[in-house]
């Protein structure tokens, strides 16, 4: 009885510690985003803002905000860059996710279900590409893009991001396909070709894995920073992560910075929330180990 009580207490202490560790920084950032610069500079800081305002969330999108005091808060100076970064990040992330899944589904199925010559060598090559740090492939791509006029373009950034997402998502998804029931022979007996088996039987069975892999691909593309910082930063194709980092090299605009950060959290949160039922059905550990 005592041991059970002790284990339960330890569990709740761990849960509370995890919540504090995760939520307090989020709340503090949200508090700063809803505060004016004068209140942010106040010392000692207050836990609750005395005059909370959504001004930073409005002005950072390029709109003026009129509080109850009557004065008008003009659009933030970096509003055009933030809006353009949001649009570019969304367009590139969606495009990269679609292309990644079109490549990954047959590739992961092949590695996970079929036997073919040099399979192990190709698999180790896949693992090697996953282990490469992004900066090691960014510089060769930059030199190539200078000759092909792809620097500062969405297409160029999307292509180099695929180098990151395709190997990673393939590695994570092939174990899922390996764990599906072996139905290929039964399908061949019924007259299905290899492609018909994949499209008409395996894909419906693997929709959970596909959804989770799509989320992972989207998050990788949305949060990608190294490629964006080197290849498109300061151009019309710049994505949101380099724009956020640009706040650190300018006059402090803490509320605008935190408002931008919270805007950057909205799309990943919505994607994960909408597809959460698929996430709970998929055992990520078995997928990675398998």
Among candidate residues 131, 127, 161, the one with its CA nearest the CA of residue 232: 161
79-83 — which CB contacts under 8 Å span 24+ positions? Answer: 81/238, 81/243, 81/246, 82/240, 82/243, 82/260, 82/263
Q: Where are the domains of the chain?
A: 2-59, 79-289
Give the per-residue pLDDT at 69.
67
pLDDT in tens, the chain (290 residues): 566 777 778 888 888 888 888 888 888 888 888 877 777 777 777 777 777 788 888 888 888 877 766 677 776 777 888 889 999 999 999 999 999 999 998 888 888 777 778 877 887 887 787 777 888 888 888 888 888 888 888 898 899 999 888 888 888 888 777 777 777 777 777 777 777 777 777 777 878 888 888 888 898 899 888 888 888 888 888 888 888 887 777 666 788 888 888 888 888 888 777 776 655 555 544 444 44
Half-sphere exposure of 78 (CA within 13 A, CB side): 27
In sequence order, what are the residues at sequence separation of 6 or more whose Cβ sits closer than 8 angstroms to the Cβ of residue 260?
60, 82, 240, 243, 244, 247
Q: Which of 109, 104, 100 is nearest to 161 (CA)?
A: 100
In this prediction, residue 287 carries a pLDDT of 44
What are the CA-CA distances from residue 125 to residues 128, 137, 193, 285 (Å)?
Answer: 5, 15, 29, 22
Q: What is the pLDDT of residue 93?
A: 92
Q: How far is CA 246 from the centre of its chain?
A: 20
SS3 53: coil
Residue for token pair 């995760």: 22
Q: What pLDDT was estimated at residue 91?
A: 93
- Cβ neighbors of 156 (< 8 A, separation 6 or more) are 141, 145, 148, 150, 231, 232, 237
How much is the pTM?
0.81
User: Quick one: CA torsion of 225, 231, 234, 235, rounded to 10 degrees?
Assistant: -120
* Count of Cβ atoms closer than 10 Å to residue 151 Cβ: 19
Residue whose C-alpha is closest to residue 168's, from 87, 89, 120, 224 = 224
Q: How many CB atoms lie within 10 A of CB 277?
A: 9
> CATH for 79-289, among 3.40.1360.10, 3.40.50.300, 1.10.3720.10, 1.10.8.80?
1.10.3720.10
pLDDT at 281 (0 to 100): 56
For 150, the 3-state DSSP assignment is coil
pLDDT of residue 31: 83
Question: Given this model, what pLDDT does residue 191 score?
Answer: 73
The terminus-to-terminus CA distance of the chain in angstroms comes to 38
Which tokens belong to 247?
Answer: 């706040």
For residue 105, what are the β-bridge partners? Answer: none
Query: What per-residue string of b and e applies to 99-115 under the rule 16 or more CB within 10 Å gives b?
Result: bbbeebbebbbbbbbee
Q: What is the pLDDT of residue 286?
A: 46
């Amino acid at each position: 009885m005592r041991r059970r009580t002790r284990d339960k207490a330890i569990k709740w202490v761990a849960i509370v510690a995890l919540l504090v560790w995760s939520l307090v920084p989020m709340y503090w950032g949200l508090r700063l985003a809803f505060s004016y610069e004068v209140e942010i500079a106040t010392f000692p800081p207050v836990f609750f803002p005395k005059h909370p305002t959504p001004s930073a969330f409005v002005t950072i999108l390029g709109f003026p905000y009129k509080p109850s005091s009557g004065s008008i808060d003009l659009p933030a100076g970096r509003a055009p860059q933030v809006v353009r970064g949001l649009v570019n990040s969304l367009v590139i992330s969606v495009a990269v996710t679609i292309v990644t899944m079109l490549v990954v589904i047959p590739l992961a199925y092949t590695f996970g279900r079929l036997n073919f010559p040099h399979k192990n060598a190709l698999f180790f090559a896949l693992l090697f590409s996953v282990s490469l740090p992004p900066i090691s492939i960014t510089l060769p791509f930059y030199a190539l893009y200078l000759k092909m006029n792809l620097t500062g373009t969405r297409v160029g950034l999307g292509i180099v991001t695929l180098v990151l997402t395709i190997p990673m998502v393939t590695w994570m998804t092939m174990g899922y396909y390996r764990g599906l029931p072996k139905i290929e022979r039964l399908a061949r007996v019924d007259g299905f070709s290899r492609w018909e088996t994949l499209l008409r039987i395996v894909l419906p069975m693997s929709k959970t894995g596909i959804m989770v892999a799509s989320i992972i691909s989207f998050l990788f593309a949305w949060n990608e920073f190294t490629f964006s910082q080197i290849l498109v930063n300061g151009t019309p194709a710049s994505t949101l992560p380099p724009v956020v980092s640009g706040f650190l090299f300018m006059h402090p605009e803490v509320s605008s910075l935190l408002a931008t950060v919270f805007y950057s959290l909205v799309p990943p949160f919505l994607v994960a929330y909408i597809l959460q039922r698929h996430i709970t059905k998929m055992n990520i550990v078995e997928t990675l180990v398998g």
